[in-house]
Structure 1
Amino acid sequence: MPLVLPGEQISAQHVNLKLGPGLLQQPSVDGKSPIVSTRAGELHHSANRSKWWIDSNSRRYVPAPQESVIGVVIARSGENWRVDIGSAHVASLDGLAFEGATKRNRPNLKVGSLLYARVSLAHKDMEPELECFDAQTRKAEGFGELKGGFLINCSLRMCRLLMDPSHFLLPLLGSRFPLEAATGVNGRVWINSKEPRHIIAASRCIEAVDPDGGGMDEAGVKKFLSSMDV
């Protein structure tokens, strides 16, 4: 993947173009809206070239619209909740931003509750906003409160690897034992299984595969799981 520096123009074009972290579309000039990089890193795009982003070794998550994140409720503010998503600013979650939510029927979230949410609004001068449904279908589609399980903190790079369907780790773990998982691009992974030993095994494997940690490959993970009798 090509390396880019801040300020470089990116030739990203698509009918349904979506820009991720590190890319910014500037105001239109002479009918053109150039896309420039805002950070140094590797330029990536999806298989159909509709999604573009820059992968850098950043330690802090920078919110971008449409991204999936895992947040922790830290306070209630009127009819809204304040949610920590690991970014510079706390995010806001409207009480009606859930499937089927009404003024009389709202989720009963408490301080410390975990959420799998989508960033609906992100701007460098504003607090990010979250919602717990798919914007097109208005259905939960897996978003909402995460009950039970265990939260793992890892690198932003590791989260993007886990969200790639072709990555080996989650399918490998799922072939060994029943496992639920939710991955946020903000450096957090939630896993759940009926047996605590399986949760421990999954969390240790994620830490071992993390490029900022051990960087273990598939063969190493299989050997690692065998040593734990899983």
Structure 2
Amino acid sequence: MTTPLVLLPGEEVPSDHLPPTKNNNPLKLGPGLRLLSQPSTSAAAGHVLTATQAGLLTTDAKRNTVSLLSFSNRRYLPTTNDLIIAQIHHSSADYFHCMVTPHTAHALLGQLSFEGATKKTRPMLKQGELVYARVLSVGIGAGAEVELTCVNPATGKAEPGGLGPLVGGMVFDVSTGMAARLIRASSASPDQTDAVEGLVVLSELDKKLESVGGFEIAVGRNGKVWVDCSNAGDSAIQATVAIGRCLQQTDEGNLSTSEQKKLVSRILREMKIG
């Protein structure tokens, strides 16, 4: 077993930290890494893998994937295939121009990049509305445009996780590291989530809010979390705010599993929910 490895932007990934190739399956790259075409003796298959951000290198031998776990920070660098929450700034003839992070160039979302969209049925999104989208491409070099999509290019379907406009609810800011943890935890099996990510805040909220109608959540790698508790009736606003507070305080305090459980109970009690 290799020792944990922290990489800085621009550093190469040593070949001995990559999962072994099986059945000629191509290595899959997760967030934080980039494949360069120049040959190198230090990287697998004659290619150079470099880090695009600082983080902890992780591998998954079963899925033949390698990725970089970013540290808790507020800066987000778009990476192809990332799921993000974007806000519509304005529209043009063919695109919606979206804000992904503050003080950066707008990303482009095609007006027909929605499931079943035609010129007559495409969504008429207005300034300030939100979409759950996937990063389709990021371009190369300074000033390169980021392109988004709300469908799987291979199937034309809004998958996974219900890509498309986000109606209602509230958005809360967390660090990009916390966003990545939430996404990984949500994709893990229930018996692995606690052990792998140390996150129980969502499962605790789910159990305690089930009696009032539960909630929906969408997590963007750009540090945005959309929460909707519209089924909670008169408690919808309080429940939504409570979830946001729990996520943000877990992030800011780097709380342990026991501390997360106590936090959920305390905040729901303060908000008089359940």
Contact 1:23–1:54 (8 Å) recurs in 2: no
Aligned to 1:191: 227
Aligned to 2:243: 202
Contact 1:69–1:186 (8 Å) recurs in 2: yes
In structure 2, distance between residues paired with 1:74 and 1:36: 33
Residues 142-187 of structure 1: CA distance to partner in whole angstroms, max 9, x if unpaired?
A: 0000000000011000001111231322222111110100001111
CA shift in 2, pair 1:124/1:183, >3 Å: same
Aligned to 2:265: 226
In structure 2, distance between residues paired with 1:203 and 1:154: 9
* 149-158 or 214-223, which deviates more: 214-223
1:31-50 to structure 2, matched below 5 A, reads: 32-46=46-60, 48-50=63-65
List alignment gaps of at least 5 residues for structure 2. 186-192, 194-198, 231-235
What is the TM-score of this pair, normalised by structure 2? Answer: 0.76
Larger relative strand fraction: 1
Counterpart selection for 2:90 from 75, 88, 103: 75
Contact 1:10–1:36 (8 Å) recurs in 2: no
Contact 1:41–1:57 (8 Å) recurs in 2: no
In structure 1, distance between residues paired with 2:140 and 2:73: 16
How much does 1:52 deviate?
1.6
What is the TM-score of this pair, normalised by structure 1? Answer: 0.90
Counterpart selection for 1:147 from 151, 161, 167: 167
Aligned to 2:113: 97
In structure 1, distance between residues paired with 2:139 and 2:69: 17
Contact 1:192–1:199 (8 Å) recurs in 2: yes
How much does 1:109 deviate?
0.5
Residues 188-227 of structure 1: CA distance to partner in whole angstroms, max 9, x if unpaired?
A: 00001031111111011001110xx111223223222322
Give the number of the structure whose alpha-carbon radius of gyration is greater. 2
CA shift in 2, pair 1:51/1:98, >3 Å: farther
How much does 1:19 deviate?
2.5
Aligned to 2:190: none
Contact 2:201–2:264 (8 Å) recurs in 1: no
Identity %: 32
In structure 2, distance between residues paired with 1:10 and 1:54: 16
List alignment gaps of at least 5 residues for structure 1. none
In structure 2, distance between residues paired with 1:163 and 1:23: 18
* 61-70 or 167-176, which deviates more: 167-176
